[in-house]
Amino acid sequence: MTEPTAAGVLAALRARGATLATAESLTGGMLAARLVDVPGASAVFRGGLVPYATDLKATLVGVDGALLDRLGPVAGEVAAALAEGARRRCGADWGLATTGVAGPDSQGEVPAGTVYVGVAGPDGAPTVRKLSLDGDRPTIRAATVESVLALLAERLDATR
């Protein structure tokens, strides 16, 4: 069973000879920082994108602009597209994505604490999880990092 931590998922990916990339909106680079805190991460982690502005989700990561116009940046389909875009743009086997509203204020009709995390793998079928998190901005961002790592660990265990 893969440990749902940065060290755990990196070790599982290294054992498979697989690589990883990230696209982070909500977490603003926290996920990539957590990964590179692990010694030897460079054997697995290819890099990360931080498309914080909505337009960069399209231009930098390749998310369909029509999808962003229709749903906005905080949606499950956007998380899936970000994960797949990170994978493609960075030439990695696996892609992780975070998007959501960290607060303290809501974003339009989307309440603070609404988060989507996504994982895209070599099988081409992204997995997305919607979270409703409580807490202040740093707490929500940290919980999002933990959640996307746990989702990747689940996917890795399911593809053994």
Q: What is the pTM of this model?
A: 0.97
Q: Which two tokens stand for residue 5?
A: 């931590």
Domains of the chain with bracketed CATH? 6-158 (3.90.950.20)
Beta strands in 18-156, from DSSP E residues, in sequence order: 20-24, 45-49, 94-100, 114-120, 127-132
Summarised one tens digit per residue, pLDDT across range 34-63 is 999 999 999 999 999 999 999 999 999 999
Q: Is the pLDDT of residue 160 over 90?
A: no
CA gap 148, 73 in Å, rounded: 17
With vertex at residue 60, the alpha carbon angle to CA 56 and CA 61, rounded to the nearest 5 degrees, is 100
Q: What sign does the dihedral 75-151-127-20 (CA atoms) show?
A: positive
Backbone angles phi, psi at 91, to 5 degrees: 65, 40
Summarised one tens digit per residue, pLDDT across range 69-117 is 999 999 999 999 999 999 999 999 999 999 999 999 999 899 999 999 9
